[in-house]
Amino acid sequence: MKPTDRNELARRLNGEHVSYDVPLAPMTTFRIGGPADVLYRATTVSELVNAIRAARELEVPYFLLGTGANILVGDRGFRGMVIKSEVRGIEFLDENRVRVGAGEVVFPDLINATVSRGLGGLQHYVGIPSTVGGAIWQNLHFLSPPPDRERTCFIEEVVESAEILTESGELRTVDRAYFEFGYDYSILHERRDTVLTVTFRLEPQPEEQLRYNMRENLKWRDDKHPDLWLYPSAGSIFQKIEGIGAGRLIDQCGLKGHIYGNAQIFHKHANIIVNVGGARAEHVRHLIDLAQRTVYSQLGYELKPEIGFVGEF
């Protein structure tokens, strides 16, 4: 980034929250990724709006970062400004509705706050690393409660409205339909809108039942998913293939447990790649390419990555 742009950004943004040449790896659940030229931590709606407007006006490339749980950052980092969304705040509007800052973490903070008021709808997403903004971007989802687990629950089911900064710079309140939610999809994949706050409409439910649901989901995750502290990852790498399962296809090709560099196709769940210590983005990219090529040539299915690729590789 040009030094003049750096200086101008620093002038326009709150100096305390700006830093330079910051490694992004610790800000992602993969623990992978080179430095951002500029990192800005936006802690209020007005800081977030101001940062995005400044980046657009100066034509500085920017990336909005939540908990970094659905991305792979390149080894050479990001040329431009990473805006870390730390807009917190949980405000109960009435007996059903809660307005939340887009940088609020879904688990544990938001889930605990709502469940302890006997409000259900978010408990399904226990144990998933995500900000509220990231959850809207991706339409966060998980299986319905035990014992049947017969359907997938999506966060869209409890979204009432949201305040956004549109890609053309307008502040708007939009309803759920605006997001055109789908599986792993919202309109945010196409439009560079920024979610500022989200209002959820939740259902009163006995707290004990919600806590039971949470315990069962955490047990399910413990059995099937890598422990993030031991095996950093970004969750599922490839999009779901209805009725078949991307992980099952990779497993059928004998790639479960395959290691390249310091990354591994997880030995318990082949749709997850884990960092076994000091992995680089190039190691993960190699495994992604390998899984795609092998599954296509042996079984004829095309695997599409679900995660976002950020910065220079």
Ligand X SMILES: Cc1cc2nc3c(=O)[nH]c(=O)nc-3n(C[C@H](O)[C@H](O)[C@H](O)COP(=O)(O)OP(=O)(O)OC[C@H]3O[C@@H](n4cnc5c(N)ncnc54)[C@H](O)[C@@H]3O)c2cc1C
Q: Hey, what are 126's tokens?
A: 């226990």
Binding range to ligand X, per CB under 6 A, among 10-18, 126-134, 249-257, 283-291: 126-134
In the list 49, 228, 241, 290, the residue contacting ligand X (rule: CB under 6 A) is 228
DSSP codes of every residue in 206-221: -HHHHHHHHHHHHHHH
Half-sphere exposure of 94 (CA within 13 A, CB side): 3
CA 232 remoteness from chain centre = 14
| Smallest separation, CB 135 to ligand X (Å) | 4
Tell me how far apart the alpha carbons of residues 198 and 134 are, in angstroms, rounded to a whole number: 11
Q: Which of 43, 123, 138, 271 binds ligand X (CB under 6 A)?
A: 138
Lookup result for tokens 């903004």: 133
Tokens matching residue 29: 């659940």
Residue 204 contacts residue 116 (beta carbons within 8 Å) = no
For residues 275 and 294, which CB has a smaller minimum distance to ligand X in the complex?
A: 275
Contacts of ligand X in 52-111 (CB under 6 A): 64-71, 85, 102
Q: Establish whether the linkage from the previous residue to 146 is cis, with ω within 30° of 0.
A: no
Q: Look up residue 29 and give its DSSP letter.
A: T
Q: How many residues bind ligand X, per CB under 6 A?
A: 32
- Residue from 140, 250, 288, 295 in contact with ligand X (CB under 6 A): 140
| Cα end-to-end distance, the chain, whole Å | 17
Q: Is 233 among the residues that bind ligand X (CB under 6 A)?
A: yes
CB of residue 41 to ligand X, shortest distance in Å: 13
Q: How far is the CB of 55 from ligand X (least distance, A)?
A: 13
The site string for ligand X over 247-286 (x = CB under 6 A, - otherwise) reads: ----------------------------------------
User: What is the per-residue binding string for ligand X in 183-212, x denoting contact by CB under 6 A?
Assistant: -----x-----xx-----------------
Rg of the chain over Cα atoms, rounded to whole angstroms, equals 20
Interaction site with ligand X (CB under 6 A): 29, 64-71, 85, 102, 128-131, 133-135, 137-138, 140-142, 188, 194-195, 225, 228, 233-235, 308
